[in-house]
Structure 1
Amino acid sequence: MQSDIFTEDFKTEPYWWEKSPRPRLRKTAVPEKIDVAIVGAGYTGLSAALVLARAGRSVVVFDAEDAGWGCSTRNGGQISRSIKPGYEQLTRRYGADTAFEIIREGSRALEWVTDFVASENIQCDFAVPGKFTGAHNQAQFEAMARAADHQPEGLEEPLEVIPRAEQHRELGTDAYYGGVVNTSTASLDPGLFHQGLLERARAAGVSVVTHCPVAGIEETAPGFRVKFPGGSVRAGNVLVATNGYTGAEAGWQRRRVIPIGSYIIATEALSPDLMDRIMPTNRMLGDSRKVVYYYRPSPDRSRILFGGRVSASETNPLKSAPLLRRDLIGLFPELENVRISHSWMGFVAYTFDTLAHVGTHENIHYAMGYCGSGVSMSGYLGMRVAQKILGLKEGRTGFDGISFPTRPLYTGRPWFLSASVAFYRWRDSFNR
């Protein structure tokens, strides 16, 4: 480890926790019987809990760690339309009508988080700065430009093609071959957003029980018995909302999500002049690689938050920090002497079909598999699955009826991940 690249107050925890440390909630007695038990106190679980509690249901949310300890407060705060497969690919899989509805869910999720933050008055540095996606080679730029000019009717996004000659008005680097700006992409401080969601759920009567891992879920007649250390509770319904942290208590769901570590650093505070040269706008930023980088200015424009996958196998933030710093300097040589103030990681949940999933299995509800784009989709689907539990027709989504695939021999530990990352990094290495 290169100790000289770290600030004196360096921390291996999210930069976002500076403003919103993980809450230490008072221990709460769990009643013998409740309407709904939710496993996971991240965006999905709390969003669902809020809807249910405001509809008069008794709700307990369990979490193995502090509320929001997982990726809900470890992400980069970028909010896109969230759907990984394109319309043509989804049409081949499911037909044009279903493909259209799935893509639309990405827009609905973005609309939901925008409206939710405003209506609930959550102070989380929410903004709509747009996103610049850089093309890492000429072929990618041409493909991105074609896609921007030929969007499916009814699914258009506000895209602007930026040729390489004009790239510096978006980003102070020559590392890309141009790119595309999506002006609808939003941003927020994920820690403050989670804190606001938690406060509103608790104010509505939701009981949040932390450091209390669910040990088992048994279906009874009627409802379920949810077991935890030292006791259990009878619940009419159960929602599993654990995403990249799904464990043995939800074995069926665990076999269908692939936990992938995503690593982020925050730089020390930079001069305003330097920030203006390398990041002249407040855009969210990324590139066209399969093994992506995602980065942004901090909400106050004092530093850069830079994330990505820098090793084939999982590692720790002390080892990932120098690698991310190296790649950051590769994009911006002016940062040669920059130091790192924070380095952290979190597990996102991918799926074998790269789609989010919401539904029931053996009468247990679930919503998960956001494939690295869950800031809006997780809360949105939490709201929708709560509506399903309430029996409301509004709970219908474009994902309904889509099978949730797994693979033979997969039990929740992605033994194939290192080879997959190495393959995609090799593909990304081609410049032409």
Structure 2
Amino acid sequence: MNSPIFTSDFKARPFWWEAFTPQSLPEIPVPKEARVVIVGAGYAGLNAALELNREGIDCVVLDASEPGFGASTRNGGMVSGGVNVGKRYMAKALTEEESAPYLSDAADAFGMIEDLIAREKIDCGWTRAGYFLGAWCKSHFDGMAKKVSTLNKYAKSDAYLVPPEKQREEIGSDYYRGGMVVGRAAHLHPALFYKGLLDLCVKRGVAIASKTPATKITQSGAGWQVQTPRGTIQAGDVIIATNGYTGDVTPDLKRRVVPVGSYIIATEELSPDLAASLSPRNRSFADTRRVLTYYRLSPDRKRLIFGGRAKFGHTDPVETAPILHQFMTDRFPQLKGTKITHAWTGNVAFTLDEIPHMGKFNNLHYALGCNGSGVAMMSYLGHQTARKIAGKVNSVCAFDRPEFPDHPLYTGNTWFLPWIGRYFRTRDWMDRRFN
């Protein structure tokens, strides 16, 4: 906290909470029965609840903390329109044929939340300004040509290559070796988007129980018994929508998702000229490094919001803030001397095949594993799961697959993440050095 990179009023909490801080809702009685119980009141849980409510299906949403306390109000607020779907760090890359259905549904996910925000007039700074993916090395840039074609063919991405000599038109940095623009991409204020969903649920009478964790879930005849500290609910169906916070109450799902800490900082207010120089077109940004970074201007274009895998594992965001600050100034030397007002972290959920999943496991519905694309993907998977329960699905969602891979050596303990981090840093160094 004594580091010169922190402002005097620095806060170790999300910048987004200045506009909306998660808080407990008025206590409600835990019902004895519900047609559907949703565990987790994040993007997936609330979108599932809204769709069930629209179909006239009784549901109750349980959250272990204040609704929105997790990743739904902590993320970077970037909506990439499918560019990250099929992107793999460890598993073999998908072929074009394999990735096609995922990209098509990821494009639908983007359209779903764009339509939702417009239809419900959610004031969350939705800005469809596109996304720039920086190539870490020449070989990464060379590999983007096929990616552009695939994205445009299946995800309607309006994507195109940006050679190094034109990079400054997109980003105020010479750090990359060119890159790719995805036109069908956006950014928003994640906490205000969440608030909009929460307000809709409250307005429509959806039952949401704050600080009411599910402590045990057991099958009971054709349905389920969901135990909480405040009573037991008899349910017809249960949706697990806990993503990066999946715990011991669902051990079979816990061993299928890997929670990874993602770390973010917010700068102090920048001069208008400096802010505009960083992002001339108000794009959002990421790069092709394995040790990923992602960033964008705040909705008022006065700050840079900069995130990434500062460390692999889970640690104090104050400890990782100097690492992110260095990453930031590596890309933008003009920000040397700029201080940080906020630093925070939240869990991203990766799956072992690096693809988002929805479906049923032992008759338990789930929507899990955003793999870093949570704003649109978790909203979409929650919505699709609800439609499936309501019997309104005309075709099977690409992410609704019978298999959800696990590994015999993984039970939810992420002790191995620092070793993966070392491997990723080594591979990044080799790519830059030899490509």
User: Could you state the TM-score of these two structures normalised by the residue count of structure 1?
Assistant: 0.95
Kept after mapping to 2: 8 A contact 1:298/1:304: yes
Structure 1 gaps of 5+ residues are: none
Local SS of the residue matching 2:4: helix
Find the counterpart in structure 2 of residue 293 from structure 1.
293
One-letter amino acid of the counterpart of residue 29, structure 1: P
Separation in structure 2 between the aligned mates of residue 383 and residue 104 of structure 1, nearest angstrom: 16
Separation in structure 2 between the aligned mates of residue 260 and residue 137 of structure 1, nearest angstrom: 25
Find the counterpart in structure 1 of residue 161 from structure 2.
161
The 1:174–1:375 alpha-carbon spacing in structure 2 relative to 1, beyond 3 Å, is same
Separation in structure 2 between the aligned mates of residue 245 and residue 356 of structure 1, nearest angstrom: 15
Task: Specify which of 83, 88, 94 is matched with residue 90 of structure 1.
Answer: 94
Kept after mapping to 2: 8 A contact 1:164/1:176: yes
Find the counterpart in structure 2 of residue 145 from structure 1.
145
One-letter amino acid of the counterpart of residue 339, structure 1: K
1:98-128 CA distances to partner (integer Å, 9 max, x unpaired)?
A: 6422221110101111111111111110111
Separation in structure 1 between the aligned mates of residue 395 and residue 347 of structure 2, nearest angstrom: 27
Kept after mapping to 2: 8 A contact 1:384/1:394: no
Find the counterpart in structure 2 of residue 376 from structure 1.
376
One-letter amino acid of the counterpart of residue 110, structure 1: F
One-letter amino acid of the counterpart of residue 185, structure 1: A
Query: How far is the alpha carbon of 1:4 from its aligned partner?
Result: 2.3
1:20-419 matches, cutoff 5 A: 20-82=20-82, 83-85=84-86, 89-91=93-95, 96=97, 99-148=99-148, 153-155=153-155, 157-394=157-394, 396-419=396-419
Kept after mapping to 2: 8 A contact 1:384/1:395: no
Query: How far is the alpha carbon of 1:178 from its aligned partner?
Result: 1.1
The 1:151–1:182 alpha-carbon spacing in structure 2 relative to 1, beyond 3 Å, is closer
Structure 2 gaps of 5+ residues are: none
Separation in structure 1 between the aligned mates of residue 390 and residue 341 of structure 2, nearest angstrom: 45
Query: How far is the alpha carbon of 1:141 from its aligned partner?
Result: 1.5
One-letter amino acid of the counterpart of residue 85, structure 2: K
The 1:74–1:395 alpha-carbon spacing in structure 2 relative to 1, beyond 3 Å, is farther
One-letter amino acid of the counterpart of residue 328, structure 2: L
Separation in structure 2 between the aligned mates of residue 155 and residue 310 of structure 1, nearest angstrom: 30
Separation in structure 2 between the aligned mates of residue 183 and residue 404 of structure 1, nearest angstrom: 32
Query: How far is the alpha carbon of 1:361 from its aligned partner?
Result: 1.3
Query: How far is the alpha carbon of 1:331 from its aligned partner?
Result: 1.1
The 1:149–1:39 alpha-carbon spacing in structure 2 relative to 1, beyond 3 Å, is closer
Separation in structure 2 between the aligned mates of residue 412 and residue 7 of structure 1, nearest angstrom: 37
Percent identical among aligned pairs is 42
1:203-238 CA distances to partner (integer Å, 9 max, x unpaired)?
A: 222111111111010110231111111321111111
One-letter amino acid of the counterpart of residue 206, structure 1: V
One-letter amino acid of the counterpart of residue 64, structure 2: A
Separation in structure 2 between the aligned mates of residue 26 and residue 10 of structure 1, nearest angstrom: 31
Separation in structure 2 between the aligned mates of residue 112 and residue 249 of structure 1, nearest angstrom: 31
Separation in structure 2 between the aligned mates of residue 330 and residue 158 of structure 1, nearest angstrom: 29
The 1:310–1:151 alpha-carbon spacing in structure 2 relative to 1, beyond 3 Å, is closer
The 1:312–1:240 alpha-carbon spacing in structure 2 relative to 1, beyond 3 Å, is closer
Query: How far is the alpha carbon of 1:270 from its aligned partner?
Result: 0.6
Kept after mapping to 2: 8 A contact 1:348/1:371: yes
The 1:184–1:261 alpha-carbon spacing in structure 2 relative to 1, beyond 3 Å, is same
Local SS of the residue matching 1:168: helix
One-letter amino acid of the counterpart of residue 410, structure 1: Y
Residue range with higher mean Cα deviation, 263-272 or 303-312: 303-312
Separation in structure 1 between the aligned mates of residue 28 and residue 154 of structure 2, nearest angstrom: 48
The 1:279–1:17 alpha-carbon spacing in structure 2 relative to 1, beyond 3 Å, is same
User: Could you state the TM-score of these two structures normalised by the residue count of structure 2?
Assistant: 0.94
Query: How far is the alpha carbon of 1:296 from its aligned partner?
Result: 0.3
Separation in structure 1 between the aligned mates of residue 401 and residue 293 of structure 2, nearest angstrom: 33
Residue range with higher mean Cα deviation, 74-83 or 102-111: 74-83
Local SS of the residue matching 1:38: strand
One-letter amino acid of the counterpart of residue 90, structure 1: L
Separation in structure 2 between the aligned mates of residue 317 and residue 67 of structure 1, nearest angstrom: 21
1:249-294 CA distances to partner (integer Å, 9 max, x unpaired)?
A: 1111111000000000000001101112222221001111111100
> Over aligned residue pairs, what C-alpha RMSD do you find?
1.8
1:25-74 CA distances to partner (integer Å, 9 max, x unpaired)?
A: 11111121111111000000000011112222221111111101111111
Kept after mapping to 2: 8 A contact 1:223/1:234: yes
How many residues are paired up? 428
The 1:153–1:128 alpha-carbon spacing in structure 2 relative to 1, beyond 3 Å, is closer
Kept after mapping to 1: 8 A contact 2:286/2:292: yes
Local SS of the residue matching 2:157: coil
Kept after mapping to 2: 8 A contact 1:214/1:228: yes
Separation in structure 2 between the aligned mates of residue 238 and residue 150 of structure 1, nearest angstrom: 36
The 1:211–1:264 alpha-carbon spacing in structure 2 relative to 1, beyond 3 Å, is same
Kept after mapping to 2: 8 A contact 1:172/1:279: yes
One-letter amino acid of the counterpart of residue 201, structure 1: C
Query: How far is the alpha carbon of 1:358 from its aligned partner?
Result: 0.6
